[in-house]
Amino acid sequence: MSAKDLPEIGVGAVGHSFMGAVHSHAWRTVDHVGTPVARTNMRALAGRNKDRAQAAAEKLGWDEATDDWRTLLERPDIQVIDILTPGDTHEEIAVAALEAGKHVICEKPLAASAAAAERMAVAAENARAHGVASMVGFNYRHVPALGLARQLVATGRLGTVRQVRAVYLQDFIVDEDFPLVWRLQRDRAGAGALGDIGSHLIDAAQFVTGQFLTRVSGTTETFVKQRPVQVEGTGAGLSAGASASEQLGDVTVDDAAVFVGFGSEGTLMSFEATRMATGRKNAMRIEVNGSQGSVAFDLESMNELWFYDGDDPTPENGFRRILVTEPEHPRVSNWWPAGHGLGYDHTFVHELQDFLEAVTAGRAPQPSFNDGLQVQRVLEAVQLSADQEGRYVAV
């Protein structure tokens, strides 16, 4: 099939900060990798401020900009809405888009609360009955090395999975003068490190093992209780240079969370998520131990997977490094010759590939809004446990 025969899909994005830039890069790239399934057009970018949205649209490659995301839902040349805004806005935009018959991809965590996520999941199921697709953006599922880890678990190479250890370490708010951005406000973000990066750990652990967390026990801590109030309209919420006033406001989310839980097949799982690990920029690590082997992954070496095969002869066994760049590895055949590694941005291209392949084939994309809801329920169970001095809470 030639490019002109492919279905045409118009995209409208809501939000143009950090994730807006990343997703824009992926939308610019997705038609030029592997075997495209559609011709995508970056129709319009929506933001709160028309001038800033227009500047972002010009920089990021969108045809036009608007300060009213609702106008995107009225346009017949837009079939997909990509939601890249703070968590407290996800429900309104997603539900309205789904009811308007638009396919939706929404950044994680799915919402700022499990109740909102549940309403989104219901809307997604209703829309699915009319052929409308939805997906939550857990991009680390699309790292080839984690895809290989999932394959090794699923094919029994690890035997019975007994234990998972997962950590996510960042330091971007170590500076006590870092401003009180939306990510530090519970009414907008839902949770702090627990929701922002802990949600990635939960989804990755469940994705690799094929198990859902069933009960959890955790604790959270906020080390810096107050921060300078951010001046409206300045900074994206991630830059240490964001402008702030001299007025202080209360931080209402956690800086760090530590929790344990059990998977649906009895696997013990432990998690640590912190944005106060001085010197750590984006250190996500996960290790899965089974009765016959183990796998270990580190995002800072994201083209590698370490594998211990218990069936190897004793004089030879030990963890071995697999360079996950072969064409047989998940999604790698779409890119470069073996040994030429992929990066963070490629995970979003893979995410959009999966989404578009599902949409054009008429099947439900993964991870679904129901998957996002399940992660949201885990987050709330951890927070409830922390509020109850670490008691186990069922998910």
Average pLDDT over residues 33-48: 96
Sorted by where each begins, the domain ranges of the chain are 3-140, 143-363+375-394
Q: Which of 135, 114, 124 is nearest to 377 (CA)?
A: 114
Which pLDDT score, from 0 to 100, does residue 197 have? 97
Tokens of 370: 């129901």
Q: What is the enclosing helix (H) or strand (E) of 257?
A: strand 256-263
What are the pLDDT digits (tens) for 56-111? 999 999 999 999 999 999 999 999 999 999 999 999 999 999 999 999 999 999 99
pTM: 0.94
Q: Is pLDDT of 43 > 50?
A: yes
For 3-140, which CATH class?
A: alpha beta
Strands 80-83 and 103-107, bridge-based pairing: parallel
d(CA 187, CA 205): 27
What are the pLDDT digits (tens) for 172-225? 999 999 999 999 999 999 999 999 999 999 999 999 999 999 999 999 999 999
DSSP string, 336-363: PSTT----HHHHHHHHHHHHHHHHHHTS
Peptide bond into 367 cis (omega under 30): yes
Same CATH topology for 3-140 and 143-363+375-394: the answer is no
Q: What angle do CA 58, 354, 356 make, to 5 degrees?
A: 60
Which pLDDT score, from 0 to 100, does residue 385 have? 98
CB 135 within 8 A of CB 368: yes
For 143-363+375-394, which CATH class?
A: alpha beta
What are the pLDDT digits (tens) for 110-157? 999 999 999 999 999 999 999 999 999 999 999 999 999 999 999 999
Which DSSP letter does residue 231 get? Answer: P
Q: Is pLDDT of 237 > 80?
A: no
Q: Which of 379, 352, 389 is nearest to 141 (CA)?
A: 352
Which pLDDT score, from 0 to 100, does residue 245 have? 64
Q: Is pLDDT of 243 > 90?
A: no
**Residue 335, SS3 per DSSP:** coil
What is the total residue count of the chain? 395
Instruction: Report the chain's C-alpha Rg in angstroms.
Output: 21
Which pLDDT score, from 0 to 100, does residue 230 have? 78
d(CA 267, CA 240): 39
Average pLDDT over residues 327-339: 96
**Residue 155, SS3 per DSSP:** coil
Strands 293-298 and 304-309, bridge-based pairing: antiparallel
